[in-house]
Amino acid sequence: MSRRNMSDIIEAYLKSFLQDAEHVEIKRSDIADQFDCVPSQINYVINTRFTQEHGYLVESKRGGGGYIRILKIQLTSDADEVASMLDLIGNQISYRNGVNIIETLIEREIITQREGRLILSVIEKSVLHAISNQDQAARAMLLKTFLHQLRYELTSQASNEDY
């Protein structure tokens, strides 16, 4: 039996609302009370599990009537999804953010788990550090190359389905 930590439980709880809705609005203090944790735990979950790399946007309003709104990014096609991920990478990317992008592609069934594991093996810190002292830049270049190829294949596939 595997034990899930509080962050995993809160993440699953919030994602359960997003299965049937495009967004969820919460009050940080209400969720913290419900799970008997500190509000900073809710911040941690939102800041690490609901990022753009994971396919979410977060809006917040501070103050007495404040809220946190988590929006699921809905793109029209897999190629659009890949294009939005390309925009996130820039000239450098951390290993953690690279993992987030690959996990999102797997979760959205754009790539298989096997493909994801293969990509992750190439962008791993130890591999990149052995070939370059600029591992974040090299990681960004490798991920962009992969995503450009994936986007090209998805676009070609979509245009072939139109005929």
Domain range list for the chain: 6-72, 78-158
Locate tokens 């930590």: which residue?
Answer: 5
Angle in degrees, CA 129, 47, 113, rounded to 5: 55
The fold of the 78-158 domain, in CATH, is 1.10.1200
Q: Of all helices (H) and strands (E), which one includes residue 69? A: strand 67-72
pLDDT, one tens digit for every residue, the chain (163 residues): 456 799 999 999 999 999 888 899 999 889 999 999 998 899 999 999 998 888 888 998 877 667 899 998 876 788 888 888 888 888 889 999 999 999 989 988 999 999 999 999 999 888 887 777 788 889 999 999 999 898 888 887 766 665 5
Domain 6-72, CATH homologous superfamily name and number: Transcriptional regulator CtsR, winged HTH domain (3.30.56.130)
DSSP 3-state assignment of 61? strand
Q: pTM of the prediction?
A: 0.63
